[in-house]
């Protein structure tokens, strides 16, 4: 079941897939096609993994801002 997740101030913050057995901290960079699981397990440090998540968060926020900004200009 997919649920909407709320961000700060009750704003929609994306989706929440509910309970899962996937280690999303490990698989998120793989799903984003940044790296492979083998590369993470053999070459990456925890700091590298944290940096990848920070970069993905920044990219997501920039994309969200661009969509919101486009909507504001169209109105």
- CA–CA distance, 37 with 40 (Å, rounded to integer): 5
Would the pLDDT of 69 be above 50? yes
- CA–CA distance, 43 with 50 (Å, rounded to integer): 14
pLDDT at residue 26, rounded to an integer = 94
pLDDT at residue 73, rounded to an integer = 63
Each domain of the chain, given as residue ranges in start order, spans 3-74
pLDDT at residue 13, rounded to an integer = 59
pLDDT in tens, 34-58: 999 999 999 999 999 999 999 999 9
Q: How far is CA 61 from CA 2, 6, 10, 23, 24, in A?
A: 21, 15, 17, 22, 18
pLDDT at residue 19, rounded to an integer = 78
């Amino acid at each position: 079941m997919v649920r909407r997740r709320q961000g700060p101030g009750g704003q929609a913050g994306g989706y929440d897939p509910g309970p899962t057995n996937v280690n999303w901290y490990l698989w998120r960079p793989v799903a984003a096609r940044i790296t492979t699981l083998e590369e993470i397990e053999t070459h990456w440090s925890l700091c590298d993994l944290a940096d990848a998540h920070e970069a993905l968060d920044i990219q997501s926020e920039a994309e969200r801002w661009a969509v919101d900004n486009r909507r504001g200009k169209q109105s």
